[in-house]
Structure 1
Amino acid sequence: MVSLYVTSFERSAGKDLITMGLMDRLKRDGFKIGYFKPFGHFPYQLGDIITDKGAWFIHRLFELDDPIESVCPVIITQELKKHNYKKPITGLQEKIEKAFEIISDQKDVVIVHCDYNFSEGSSFGISGSVLVHLLNAHVLFVERYTCDFCIDFLLELKRVIGNPVMGVVFNKVEGAHIEEIEEFVSFFLERNEMKVFGCLPTDSLLKAVEVSELAHILGADVVCCKDGIGALVEGFLVGGMHVDKFITYMIKHPSSAVIVGGDRTDIQLVAIESGARCLILTGDLYPNEIIRTRARANGVPILVAKSDTFTVAKGVEAVVGKLSLQDKQKINHGIKLVDKGFSFENLYNTLNLTVDVESSSGLVQ
């Protein structure tokens, strides 16, 4: 049995997508797969069992037979953290070991899914470095190539952890960096015994989020064009600058949600006429009739949020680009991207896995 720990040193690197892509391909290639998530952060009630919402979704998606209470043995809640701060909680490591023993039984490969980052669980004495040795796992980092420091982090973790760290897959890579990774970074890391298993570019569909989801996340009131809240937003702009400069940004970033103070009617009009996906007015200030009329004419939904512009911008930033586990269209699309951009041949050679059957379409319907 081979265990593969999918982790990162920053959040929102795309571990959910890579995990599902790996599981889909391994399953199609005939391997008996298991899924294990040592720590969960989003409690989900299933009868008398409390599990992690994300773990439950993946468990159902791949029709796994393992007991859900073993799939994610530790749910980290505020209550659990407070209790641990007062007095160290014991027995969690044993609980994880026992659950993993159940999950790994009669499996060829078990994907161990890190929810947050490599330091997850440190306050309980079970960080990524502990889990790697506890579960005898190979480590695959999923990282966004955002700066040169990520290479330094990878090399340092390789030095500290050693052989279990087998490599990295770069995800959500901007076009300008793809050539740099393929021509220079990959060879450099390979020389330092760090394999590069792929370089997946940013994708407009995966980055997009529906206007309706933004309204839900922000607790905003939809005051115009409610029939257009299914539109997809691929980014956002904060309309806090001069109108001329804002026009320049709108041209460069179409299909964006525009976050603007409810009193900035000049920016609101330009955004509507320039093809904004929606307006998010802040400060609990509602649009005047002229703005409403132009928005209806152009089919631009208007959301009114109670919070200030900075708070709204942070809330939108947290959701744009994050893969929703409920969106099967995005999941299927993402799995195809992993299947195309990830070097499974390299992975199988590294883990000494042999494919016995031909691949067939195993994407979720």
Structure 2
Amino acid sequence: MATLYVASTETFVGKSAVCIGLLRRMQQDGFRIGYMKPVSVAVAHTREAAIDEDAAFIRGTLGLEASLEHIAPVLITPGVVESILRGQSATYARTLRDAYLTIARDKDIVVLEGTNTWSEGALVDLTSDQVTDLLQAPTLLVTRYRSTLNVDTILSVQRYVGDRLLGVLINQIEEPHLDFVQSRVMPFLERRGIPVFGLMPRDSTLGGVTVNELLEHLGGQLIGQPAWCARTIEALMIGAMGADASISFFRRRANKAVITGGDRSDLQLAALETSTTALVLTGNFRPSPQVLDRANERQVPIVLVPDDTLTTVDRAERLFGRVRFHQAAKLQRFAELLEASFDFDRLYDAMGMRLR
């Protein structure tokens, strides 16, 4: 029986989606699969219990029979934190080990979804390296590529975990960087003994949110037809420049939401002349009649929010950062990208898994 720990050193790199994609392909290849999220620091509370929503979603999506108590056995709730700070101890390692043995029974492979960073879980003595030590699990590091600084991160993880680093998947690579990553970064990592199992390009549709999701998240007031709010926003842009430069600036991104001051009619009109999916106007200023007429012609919803522009941008970026793959279309698109970019045969060989 094989075990794979899917790790990251930062948030929002696509670990949950990678776990689903790997497990789905393994199912298709005839392997009996299991899934766990050993330590959860993002806990939601229902009427019945505290749960990890991503773990519950993956359980349902893959049709897993194991209980959520075993799939996500260690939930770091505020109550757990408080009890630890008061000096009360608990055997979380034993809880995890027992749950793992239950999940692993009669399985060919168990995929473990790691925490967001290498330090999370330290409060319960279950950081990434401690979990992989406890369960003797090789690690697949999922990282995004923004610059060569990301190579430093990968090398640091190798130095920290040594041979337990099975390899990396580099995700969310912007198109201008793809050739450099493939021709320079990948060969360099391979020479350093770090297998690169896949290079995945950034796909704007995967990180998009609907206008409805943005409206709900910001708690704003809608001006426009509700039917317009089903459209997907693929990017955010801030309108804070002079009017003369605004048109060329807004043309750089399609299917975007433009966040700008409610008193900047010049920028609002400029945005409406480009591919804009929504206008977010800050400061609780209502748009001018000219802006309202143009937005109505273009069927662009307007969201009014009371916060200032910088606060609104910060809140909106958090929503985009934590987009979950709880939509069938996004899961299908990610599966297609993973199938085209990831070397499953190489992974199977590295883990000693044999196709039936």
TM-score class, shorter: over 0.9
Q: Secondary structure at the match of 1:207?
A: coil
Question: How far is the alpha carbon of 1:6 from its aligned partner?
Answer: 0.5
SS in 2 for 1:111: strand
1:97 CA displacement: 1.0
Question: Is the partner of 1:324 in helix, strand or coil?
Answer: coil
State the partner residue of 1:68. 68
Conservation of the 8 A alpha-carbon contact between 2:278 and 2:300: yes
Counterpart contact for 1:139–1:164, Cα < 8 Å: yes
Q: Is residue 268 from structure 1 mapped to residue 248 from structure 2 by the alignment?
A: no
With structure 1 as the length reference, what TM-score do the two structures score?
Answer: 0.93
1:192 maps to which residue?
192
Q: Whose RCO is larger (CA < 8 A, sep 6+)?
A: 1
- CA–CA separation in structure 2 for the residues paired with 1:354 and 1:210: 42
Matches within 5 A, 1:108-187: 108-187=108-187
What is the CA–CA distance in structure 2 between the aligned matches of 1:125 and 1:332, rounded to whole Å? 36
Q: Which residue of 2 aligns with 1:327?
A: 327
CA distance in 2, matches of 1:87, 1:307: 41
Cα offsets for 1:120-176 (capped at 9, x unmatched): 202222111101111110100101111222212222221221111111000010112
Q: What is the distance in 1 between the residues matched to 2:118 and 2:33? A: 23
| Unmatched 5+ stretches in structure 1 | 357-365
Provide the secondary structure at the position in 2 that maps to 1:112. strand
Q: What corresponds to 2:345 in structure 1?
A: 345
Residue in 2 that maps onto 1:360: none
Other structure's SS at 1:180 match: helix
What is the Cα deviation at residue 317 of structure 1?
Answer: 1.3
Would the aligned equivalents of 1:21 and 1:336 in 2 still touch at CA under 8 Å? no
| Alpha-carbon shift at residue 48 of structure 1 (Å) | 4.4
| SS at structure 2 position matched to 1:229 | helix
Shift of residue 189 of structure 1? 1.1
Matches of 1:329 and 1:279, distance apart in 2: 25
| CA shift for structure 1 position 44 | 4.4
Q: State the aligned residue count.
A: 356
Provide the residue aligned with 2:84 in structure 1. 84
CA distance in 2, matches of 1:206, 1:300: 22
**Quick check: 187-196 or 45-54, which moved more?**
45-54
CA displacement, residues 279-316 of structure 1 (integer Å, 9 cap, x when unaligned): 00112222232221211111110001122111111121
Cα pair 2:253 2:275 within 8 Å, conserved:
no
How many Å apart are 1:86 and its aligned residue?
3.4
Decide whether the 8 Å contact of 1:88 with 1:124 is kept in 2.
no
Conserved? CA contact 2:139–2:165, under 8 Å = yes
For 1:115 and 1:161, the matched residues in 2 are separated by 16
- CA deviation vs aligned residue, 1:90-111 (integer Å, no higher than 9, x gap): 2111111111111111111101
SS in 1 for 2:312: helix
Q: What is the correspondence of 1:17-32 to structure 2 with a 5 Å cutoff?
A: 17-32=17-32
Separation of aligned partners in 2, 1:332 and 1:323: 15
| TM-score, structure 2 as length reference | 0.96
